[in-house]
């Protein structure tokens, strides 16, 4: 199973919005509602931001939003804060009883 | 407080075995699907395996099939990952992670990880 494709890095100034794409195929992202997104700060465990494409767990700010179009999912961070500087990973289930992550995107707050 | 605590990591030689444990507290372990996810040093996340709440259904990433075995003891609130014939590329921080509703919806709660280093 090939990893999902994410940009290596994105950046934005405080208050701006950034969008991270996650490209897959009809056998993963495009075929299922099970796309999730994670934030990981250095030396820390990942944290769930989005599940089932666009749902937010309790406690996750509404600045984080998810969507999907065809085989590509997206995570948008609105009103960028310094604390949002981290690595972000998308994840999808596949048609073969497995899950696959994206390669990760480093978000830099300028 | 919901907690998952991994243990059993260490430095081992290629071709040997290791068993990781994930002890949980703060929730009814037997109701939840649990996954193993790993992260090689400086690299991204990689899904490894999953086990159903009753332990009957298990699925693995291709590189783990035939070498790794996921299991659970609901009476001990503990998840296991038996890793055999270890390779250098298995070197990683291994996380256990709990889902919320079903197998594939996402990893809601994570442990802090157990480091496995495979080196001669």
At B62 the three-state DSSP class reads: helix
Does the pLDDT value for residue A97 go beyond 80? yes
Which DSSP letter does residue A63 get? T
Q: Cα–Cα distances in Å, from A8 out to A45, B39, B45, B108?
A: 20, 17, 14, 24
> At CB < 8 Å, which residues of chain A contact B?
1, 3, 32, 34, 36, 38, 40, 45-48, 50-52, 57, 89, 91, 93, 97-104
**pLDDT reported for residue A66:** 98
Q: How confident is the model at residue A96 (pLDDT cuts 50, 70, 90)?
A: confident
Instruction: Show residues of chain A in contact with B60, CB under 8 Å.
Output: 98
- Which of A36, A93, A101 minimises the CB distance to B46? A101
Measured in angstroms, the CA of A52 and the nearest CA of chain B are apart by 6
pLDDT tens-digit readout, B22-80 = 999 999 999 999 999 999 999 999 999 999 999 999 999 999 999 999 999 999 999 99
Report the 10 Å Cβ neighbour count for B33: 20
Report the 10 Å Cβ neighbour count for B60: 20
């Amino acid at each position: 199973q090939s990893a999902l494709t994410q940009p290596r890095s994105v950046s934005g100034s405080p208050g701006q919005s950034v969008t991270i794409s996650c490209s897959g195929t009809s056998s993963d992202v495009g075929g299922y509602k099970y796309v999730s997104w994670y934030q990981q700060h250095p030396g820390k465990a990942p944290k769930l931001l989005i599940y089932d494409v666009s749902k937010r767990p309790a406690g996750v700010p509404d600045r984080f939003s998810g969507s999907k179009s065809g085989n590509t999912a997206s995570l948008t961070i609105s009103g960028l804060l310094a604390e949002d500087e981290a690595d972000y990973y998308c994840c999808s289930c596949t048609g073969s009883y497995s899950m696959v992550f994206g390669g990760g995107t480093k978000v830099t707050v300028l | 407080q919901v907690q998952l605590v991994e243990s059993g990591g260490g430095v081992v030689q290629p071709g040997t075995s290791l068993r990781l444990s994930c002890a949980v507290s703060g929730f009814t372990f037997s109701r939840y699907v649990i996954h193993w996810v790993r992260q090689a040093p400086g690299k991204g996340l990689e899904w490894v395996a999953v086990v159903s709440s009753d332990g009957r259904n298990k699925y693995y990433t291709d590189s783990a099939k035939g070498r790794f075995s996921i299991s659970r003891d609901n009476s001990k609130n503990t998840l296991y990952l038996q890793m055999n014939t270890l390779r250098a590329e298995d070197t990683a921080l291994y996380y256990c992670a709990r889902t919320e509703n079903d197998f594939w919806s996402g990893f809601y709660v994570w442990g802090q990880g157990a480091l496995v280093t495979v080196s001669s």
